[in-house]
């Protein structure tokens, strides 16, 4: 795979100089995807760029009759935030190249911080009323931000998937990055977990995103996102996600 295989095509210039990027690609419980699409609605974001690649299935998406690429970056709304989201599951073979290309784009746009939103599988999720959120940081600055927001920071363990590579590539390029991970259903869309990560995002970025709306339409979202969840189930298996349940050799 070469750099030319995956391209990010700019559609319009982001309105803020040092934007914060929020990533919500389809993963465990579609937590990031549900949270990202809610952010796009609530902040009134429009497309600023999209991902093109001959390595992806030949799929486009229609909204209100307008043709769009399924992996997009949206922004220029009420807050200096860009949102990376996808309406198709990300194939495991595509993740490395995508993370490399996205972080190259973040460097070019002088992005100040990357925040990934996602889920961690909780076997007893049906017994949890409000999912807890844990943080993963790629360095001291991100860790301080999590600690100030009273987010419990993960100390030991594995992380797997697109967000793991985004954290790593951001660190290599001196971009502070963190992941907010809510307890979630592994294989079912989980709007409750998405609401939990958005509550924490509100605290960290001083936003006022209405998560009540997300909870009110939870059933509708669970119905509508069954197809994306089924796609993501297959890709999750290939991402080494089960390693997130394992204890590392050098545990201390």
Partner 1 sequence: MSEGYSDWFDELYERVRREALRPLWDIAEGCLEPLVDVHELEKEIVITADLPCVQSKDDISIKAYEDSVELEASMDRGIIWENWGTVQRHLHFRTFKKRIRLRSKTDPKKAKASFKQGILTLRLPKVSRGVPVEVR
Among 60, 208, 219, 249, binds partner 1 (CB under 8 A): 219
Q: Which two tokens stand for residue 118?
A: 């996602």
Q: In the complex, what is the shortest distance from the CB of residue 81 to partner 1, in angstroms, rounded to a whole number? A: 27
Among 60, 66, 67, 126, binds partner 1 (CB under 8 A): 126
Q: In the complex, what is the shortest distance from the CB of residue 30 to partner 1, in angstroms, rounded to a whole number? A: 11
Q: In the complex, what is the shortest distance from the CB of residue 223 to partner 1, in angstroms, rounded to a whole number? A: 5
DSSP per residue over 124-182, as a string? TGGG-SS--EEEEESSHHHHHHHHHTTPEEP-SS---SHHHHHHHHHHHTT--EEEEEE
Q: What is the separation of C-alpha 148 from the centre of its chain, rounded to a whole number of angstroms?
A: 21
By the rule CB under 8 A, 236 interacts with partner 1 = no
On whether the CB atoms of residues 183 and 119 are closer than 8 A, the answer is: yes
- Residue 157: left (phi > 0), alpha (psi -120 to 50), or beta? left
Q: In the complex, what is the shortest distance from the CB of residue 107 to partner 1, in angstroms, rounded to a whole number? A: 38
CA angle, 50 then 237 then 177, to 5°: 50
By the rule CB under 8 A, 185 interacts with partner 1 = yes
On whether the CB atoms of residues 154 and 136 are closer than 8 A, the answer is: yes
- Its sign, for the CA torsion 153, 155, 157, 158, is positive
Q: How many residues bind partner 1 (CB under 8 A)?
A: 19
Q: In the complex, what is the shortest distance from the CB of residue 185 to partner 1, in angstroms, rounded to a whole number? A: 7
Q: What are the φ and ψ backbone dihedral angles of 16, each rounded to 5 degrees?
A: -105, 150
Among 28, 56, 120, 229, binds partner 1 (CB under 8 A): 229
By the rule CB under 8 A, 241 interacts with partner 1 = no
Closest CA relative to residue 45, chosen from 66, 22, 17: 22
Contact mark string toward partner 1, 37..66, x via CB under 8 A: ---------------------------x--
Contact mark string toward partner 1, 127..146, x via CB under 8 A: x-------------------
Piece of the chain touching partner 1 by CB under 8 A; list 42-50, 104-112, 144-152, 217-225: 217-225
Q: Which residues bind partner 1 (CB under 8 A)?
A: 64, 125-127, 185-189, 218-220, 222-224, 226-227, 229-230
């Amino acid at each position: 795979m070469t750099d030319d295989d995956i391209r990010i095509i700019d559609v319009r210039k982001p309105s803020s100089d040092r934007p914060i990027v929020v990533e919500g690609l389809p993963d465990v419980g579609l937590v990031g995807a549900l949270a990202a699409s809610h952010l796009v609605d609530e902040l009134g974001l429009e497309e600023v760029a999209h991902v093109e690649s001959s390595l992806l299935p030949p799929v486009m998406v229609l909204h209100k009759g307008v043709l769009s690429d399924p992996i997009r970056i949206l922004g220029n709304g009420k807050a200096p935030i860009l949102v990376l989201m996808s309406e198709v599951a990300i194939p495991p073979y595509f993740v490395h190249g995508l993370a490399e290309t996205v972080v190259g784009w973040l460097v070019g746009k002088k992005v100040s911080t990357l925040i990934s939103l996602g889920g961690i599988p909780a076997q007893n999720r049906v017994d949890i009323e409000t999912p807890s959120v844990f943080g993963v940081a790629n360095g001291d600055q991100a860790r301080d931000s999590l600690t100030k927001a009273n987010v419990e920071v993960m100390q030991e363990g594995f992380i797997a998937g697109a967000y793991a590579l985004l954290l790593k590539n951001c660190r290599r390029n001196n971009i502070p990055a963190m992941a907010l991970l809510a307890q979630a259903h592994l294989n079912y869309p989980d709007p409750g977990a998405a609401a939990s990560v958005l509550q924490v995002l509100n605290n960290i970025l001083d936003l006022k995103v209405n998560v009540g709306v997300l909870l009110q339409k939870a059933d509708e979202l669970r119905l509508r996102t069954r197809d994306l969840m089924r796609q993501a189930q297959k890709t999750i298996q290939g991402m080494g996600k089960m390693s997130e349940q394992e204890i590392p050799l050098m545990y201390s």
